[in-house]
Structure 1
Amino acid sequence: MTQLFLEQALNGLQFGLMLFLLAAGLTLVFGIMDCINLAHGSLYMVGAYFVAAAAQAADSFWLGLGAGIAGTAVLGLLLELSLFRQLYRRDHLAQVLATFALILIANETVRLIWGPAPLLLNPPEALAGPVEIAGFFYPAYRLVIIAFGLAVAGLLYLLVAKSRVGMWVRAGASNREMTEALGINVRGLFTAVFVFGAALCALAGGLLGPLLAVQVGMGESVLILAFVVIIIGGIGSIRGALVGALIVGTVDTLGRALLPTLLRALLPADAAATLGPALASILIYLLMAGILFFKPQGLFPARA
């Protein structure tokens, strides 16, 4: 039981850090630009397809990952210049409708280019096996994902909390009008933040591609979790996105792994098999409701 808990805790850490890569860009776009981007999950999907296609063409996972991130960043730049600059001035309803239409367009475009079947993305051969940790074996590739997530989290902390650009980002999240009055190029800042968020989506999609199926519509479910993360952490807050992602990833993973087992000790097997997955799937939403009851603006709101 202890080994199972430790293994699932590492899985939760890995999943939470990947959610952070998605939520970091999303919370900056939402917090600074006041733009609801439902197509953020589509960038995650397109990034995964770019990485998988490039990895197959180059016969190298790492080359594919770099090419996929670069391609998705360029796509994010084109989207920001052509569409999102028009949406910043619109109300939230227009943003929701436009970005929802973008989800449908992205899904159908990916289906036309790569077909309806999932695209295969294999991890590097050197990381395909397990390593021993505290008496149990754990996949080496998942440890690399955790290392990537921690490295990006540290880089984002230094960028947002310690650099001049980060000061502008935090100022824009707190008071956009005052930031513009101080002479900051808010339009260029918006573009840079959006492109950076798109690149993080591709990084998450490429790293998770060998673990999850690279398929059409893969971004919708993870987008919901990303919104839960930024609501729990506080809109516009990188620190909140990290804490919220770790909470959601850990609770979701441990809930799905351990809750059915615990219920089997209390209920008949049939009832536990039915009730366990249902309770596990709503656990993070109950957690979100509980946190918002006591802290309606999230744990670390940017405008606190």
Structure 2
Amino acid sequence: MTQLVLEQALNGLQFGLMLFLLAAGLTLVFGIMDCINLAHGSLYMVGAYFVAAAAQAADSFWLGLGAGIAGTAVLGLLLELSLFRQLYRRDHLSQVLATFALILIANESVRLIWGPAPLLLNPPAALSGPVEIAGFFYPAYRLVIIGVGLVVAALLYLLVAKSRIGMWVRAGAANREMTEALGINVRGLFTAVFVFGAALCALAGGLLGPLLAVQVGMGESVLILAFVVIIIGGIGSIRGALVGALIVGTVDTLGRALLPTLLRATLPADAAATLGPALASILIYLLMAAILFFKPQGLFPARA
């Protein structure tokens, strides 16, 4: 049982760090630009497709990952310049409708280009085997994902909390009008943040591609979890996004792995197999409700 808990805790850490890559860009776009971008998950999907297609063409996972991140960043730049600059001045209803339309356009575009079948993305051959940790074997590729997530989280902390650009970002999140009055190019800052968020989406999609199916519509479910993360952590807060992502990733993974096993001790096997996944799927939403009851603005609100 201890080995199962440790293994699932590592899985939860890996999943939480990938959620952080998605939630970091989303919380900055929402917190700084006050723009609800439902198409953020579509950038994750398109990024995964770009990485998979480039990796197959180059016969190299790492070259494909770099090319996919660059391609998604360019796509994010084009979207920001052509569409989102118009949406910043609109109300939230207009933003929701426009970005929901982007989801449909992205899904159909991917289906037309790559077809309805999932696209194959294999991890690097050197990382395909397991390594031994504390007496049990764990996939080496998942450890690499954890390492990449931790490095990106540390770099984001240094960028947002310790650099001049981060100071501008935090100032823009706190008071856009005052930031513009101080001579900061908020429009250029918005563009850079949006492109950076798109690149993080591609990084998450490319790293998770070998573990999950690279398929049409893969961004919708993860988008819901990303919104849960930023609501728990606090809109506009990078620290909140990291803490919220780790909480959601760990609770979701441990809940799906352990609840059915625990329920079998008190319920028939069939009932436990049915009730366990159902309870696990709503566990993070109950957690979100409980946190918001005591902290309505999230754990680490940006404007605190």
TM-score, reference length from structure 1: 1.00
1:68 Cα deviation from its structure 2 partner: 0.1
1:151 Cα deviation from its structure 2 partner: 0.3
Would you say how many aligned residue pairs link Structure 1 and Structure 2? Answer: 304
Cα RMSD for the two superposed structures: 0.3
Identity of aligned residues (%): 96
1:186 Cα deviation from its structure 2 partner: 0.2
Residue 165 (structure 2) aligns with: 165
1:48 Cα deviation from its structure 2 partner: 0.1
1:234 Cα deviation from its structure 2 partner: 0.0
1:220 Cα deviation from its structure 2 partner: 0.1
The answer to which of 291-300 and 173-182 deviates more is: 173-182
1:175 Cα deviation from its structure 2 partner: 0.8
1:225 Cα deviation from its structure 2 partner: 0.1
Unaligned runs of 5+ residues in structure 2 are: none
1:297 Cα deviation from its structure 2 partner: 0.1
Determine the C-alpha separation between the residues in 1 that align with 2:199 and 2:154: 16
1:274 Cα deviation from its structure 2 partner: 1.2
- For the residue of structure 1 that corresponds to 2:132, the secondary structure is strand
Residue 205 (structure 1) aligns with: 205
1:69 Cα deviation from its structure 2 partner: 0.1
Determine the C-alpha separation between the residues in 1 that align with 2:53 and 2:196: 21
Determine the C-alpha separation between the residues in 2 that align with 1:139 and 1:277: 24
1:267 Cα deviation from its structure 2 partner: 1.0
1:266 Cα deviation from its structure 2 partner: 1.1
Determine the C-alpha separation between the residues in 1 that align with 2:27 and 2:172: 13
- For the residue of structure 2 that corresponds to 1:46, the secondary structure is helix
State the Cα deviation string for residues 87-126 of structure 1 (Å, max 9, x = none): 0000000000000000000000000000000000000000
Determine the C-alpha separation between the residues in 2 that align with 1:139 and 1:293: 38
1:278 Cα deviation from its structure 2 partner: 0.4
Residue 293 (structure 1) aligns with: 293
Determine the C-alpha separation between the residues in 2 that align with 1:273 and 1:135: 29
Determine the C-alpha separation between the residues in 1 that align with 2:122 and 2:269: 37
1:269 Cα deviation from its structure 2 partner: 1.3
Q: How do 1:108-147 residues align onto structure 2 when only pairs under 5 Å count?
A: 108-147=108-147
1:9 Cα deviation from its structure 2 partner: 0.1
Determine the C-alpha separation between the residues in 1 that align with 2:198 and 2:269: 44
State the Cα deviation string for residues 139-164 of structure 1 (Å, max 9, x = none): 00000000000000000000000000
- For the residue of structure 2 that corresponds to 1:122, the secondary structure is coil
The answer to which of 234-243 and 264-273 deviates more is: 264-273
Determine the C-alpha separation between the residues in 2 that align with 1:254 and 1:178: 44
Determine the C-alpha separation between the residues in 2 that align with 1:218 and 1:120: 14
State the Cα deviation string for residues 52-111 of structure 1 (Å, max 9, x = none): 000000000000000000000000000000000000000000000000000000000000
State the Cα deviation string for residues 11-44 of structure 1 (Å, max 9, x = none): 0000000000000000000000000000000000
1:273 Cα deviation from its structure 2 partner: 1.2
Determine the C-alpha separation between the residues in 1 that align with 2:192 and 2:267: 53
Determine the C-alpha separation between the residues in 2 that align with 1:128 and 1:270: 35
1:191 Cα deviation from its structure 2 partner: 0.0
Determine the C-alpha separation between the residues in 2 that align with 1:299 and 1:127: 36
Determine the C-alpha separation between the residues in 2 that align with 1:26 and 1:247: 17
TM-score, reference length from structure 2: 1.00
Determine the C-alpha separation between the residues in 2 that align with 1:272 and 1:293: 30
- For the residue of structure 2 that corresponds to 1:131, the secondary structure is strand
State the Cα deviation string for residues 195-248 of structure 1 (Å, max 9, x = none): 000000000000000000000000000000000000000000000000000000
Determine the C-alpha separation between the residues in 2 that align with 1:259 and 1:36: 34
Unaligned runs of 5+ residues in structure 1 are: none
Residue 241 (structure 1) aligns with: 241
Determine the C-alpha separation between the residues in 1 that align with 2:249 and 2:266: 26
Spell out structure 1 runs of 4+ moving beyond 3 A.
Answer: none
1:270 Cα deviation from its structure 2 partner: 1.7
- For the residue of structure 2 that corresponds to 1:132, the secondary structure is strand
- For the residue of structure 2 that corresponds to 1:158, the secondary structure is helix
Determine the C-alpha separation between the residues in 2 that align with 1:161 and 1:105: 36
- For the residue of structure 1 that corresponds to 2:137, the secondary structure is strand
